[in-house]
Every structure is written in C-alpha cells, then in structure tokens.
C-alpha cells in the first residue's frame, strides 16, 4: 500500500499556488493615553513628553518616551523595575521582579483558598451548587501553603526589615501608586535628585530579600 504524501499546508495562496506569507501581528501596547499613564507611574515621563501630553498631543508624547515596556507598571515591583531600582551584583533585575510576582501570586492564591469569598467558592456558587471539597483541592491548597511558607521563611532569615520591605513592595496592593517610599524614590530618579535615606534603605532591603528568593 502506498504511503500517504505530506499534507498540504492550509492558507491563502497566490496564482502560482505558493502560500502567501501573513504579516506578524504586533503586540497591542495599549492606547497612547494608557501608555503615558503607565510611564508616569514608572517615572519615565520626562518634562518634554508631559508638555506634549498636556497640549493634547498624546501620540507625539509617546514617541518622546521611547519604546520601554511600560506595561510592566501594573504593580509596585514592575514600577521599581522600570525605574532601575532593582540593581543587584549577582541577580538580574528581571529575576528579582519575577520572584516578587511569584510571591504575590502564592500569597494571595493561598489566602483565596482560605477565604469563603475566594475563587473556589465563587466558582461553586456561580454554578448554583456548593460541592464538597475534594482531595485534589486540599492537596493544591497544601502545596500553595508549603511554597509560600518556604519563601516567607527565607525572608525571615534575612531579618524583619527585609521581610517588611518585600511585603510592602510585592504583597501589599499597590497597583496604581505606592508604597509611598517607592513613589519618593521614583520621583527622585525623575528629578535626578538624591533619594531620602529611609526610602533608599527600604529598596535595598527589598532587593536583598528578593535576591534570596531567586
């Protein structure tokens, strides 16, 4: 029996039968206004761009701020990363940022499992039936708790100030702005001024803790 030939690739073709190459979609980075808001939160909105924005020339203002990944300005750790505040001699800033976000996810996933208003309960209520908690649910909750506790123990070993700084930067809900000490650091970077000692101490402690988590 003859073997089947290679399957014909699907897609539009030209008159000669060749596949027409499709242009790759560019990532949607949001509207000019959204990108400017993100840049402002990360301290990347320079005076020239700010003036253009105030004049209603948002598209030109976006060109002035450059092509940085300002979509990272969705949380405090992302804004710290964009502002260049996660410098460490042996760890990349990206690794520290990602370690902070993993901690956030583990912390709130764990406490969502414990709270009656958590995702599991909402899912059951939405279907109109409250089912019994299964062994897999209990195992998942236990795994989340163990992973979280390992990280919190590492931070405890680094000292109370380190844990508090990491919690402030990565766990507390600071999505648009905050914590205040981070806002002060970003403002100082934007104005090319010396940061205040307390804010500098906190970011140094947070970097130390995040490096221990990587």
| DSSP-assigned states of every residue in 88-138 | -SSS-HHHHHHHHHHHHHHHHHHHHHHSTTSHHHHHHHHTT--PPPPHHHH
Mean pLDDT of 109-120: 61
- Is residue 88, in this structure, part of any structural domain at all? yes
Q: Give the residue from 62, 6, 63, 55 showing the smallest Cα distance to 38.
A: 62
Mean pLDDT of 179-206: 93
Domain count of the chain?
2
- Do 35 and 89 lie in one domain? The reply is no
Is residue 87 scored above 80 in pLDDT? yes
CA distance 98 to 38: 19
Report if pTM > 0.85: no
In sequence order, the 6+-apart residues with CB closer than 8 A to the CB of 112 are: 118, 119, 120
Report the range of poorest mean pLDDT among 33-37, 140-144, 165-169, 174-178.
33-37
Choose between 106 and 177: higher pLDDT: 106
The last residue of one of the domains, among 58, 73, 88, is 73
Q: Give the residue from 91, 38, 43 showing the smallest Cα distance to 195.
A: 43
CA distance 164 to 169: 9
Count of CB atoms situated within 10 Å of the CB of 149: 13
Band of the pLDDT at 39, cuts 50, 70, 90? low
Is residue 60 scored above 80 in pLDDT? no
- Is residue 100, in this structure, part of any structural domain at all? yes
**Contact (Cβ atoms closer than 8 angstroms) between residue 81 and residue 169:** no
- Do 170 and 80 lie in one domain? The reply is yes
And the tokens for 46? 């320079």
- Is residue 7, in this structure, part of any structural domain at all? no
- Do 103 and 202 lie in one domain? The reply is yes
Q: Which domain holds residue 44?
A: 28-73
- Is residue 52, in this structure, part of any structural domain at all? yes
Mean pLDDT of 148-173: 96
**Contact (Cβ atoms closer than 8 angstroms) between residue 33 and residue 7:** no
Is residue 205 scored above 90 in pLDDT? yes
- Do 85 and 56 lie in one domain? The reply is no
- Do 90 and 53 lie in one domain? The reply is no
- Do 98 and 59 lie in one domain? The reply is no
- Do 34 and 59 lie in one domain? The reply is yes
- Do 56 and 123 lie in one domain? The reply is no
- Is residue 23, in this structure, part of any structural domain at all? no
- Is residue 131, in this structure, part of any structural domain at all? yes
- Do 32 and 119 lie in one domain? The reply is no
CA distance 104 to 78: 12
Is residue 170 scored above 50 in pLDDT? yes
């Amino acid at each position: 029996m003859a073997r089947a030939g290679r399957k014909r690739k699907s897609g539009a073709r030209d008159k000669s039968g060749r596949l027409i190459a499709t242009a790759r979609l560019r990532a949607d980075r949001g509207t000019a206004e959204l990108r400017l808001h993100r840049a402002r939160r990360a301290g990347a909105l320079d005076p020239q761009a700010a003036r253009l924005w105030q004049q209603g020339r948002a598209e030109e203002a976006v060109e002035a701020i450059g092509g940085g990944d300002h979509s990272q300005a969705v949380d405090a750790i992302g804004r710290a990363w964009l502002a260049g505040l996660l410098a460490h001699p042996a760890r990349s800033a990206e690794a520290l940022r990602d370690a902070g976000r993993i901690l956030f996810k583990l912390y709130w996933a764990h406490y969502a499992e414990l709270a009656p208003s958590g995702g599991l309960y909402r899912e059951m209520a939405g279907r109109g039936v409250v089912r019994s908690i299964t062994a897999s649910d209990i195992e998942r909750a236990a795994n989340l708790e163990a992973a979280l506790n390992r990280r919190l123990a590492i931070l405890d070993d680094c000292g109370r100030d380190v844990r508090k700084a990491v919690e402030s930067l990565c766990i507390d809900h600071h999505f648009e702005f905050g914590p205040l000490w981070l806002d002060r650091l970003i403002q100082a970077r934007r104005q090319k001024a010396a940061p205040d000692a307390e804010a500098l101490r906190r970011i140094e402690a947070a970097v130390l803790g995040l490096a221990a988590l990587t």
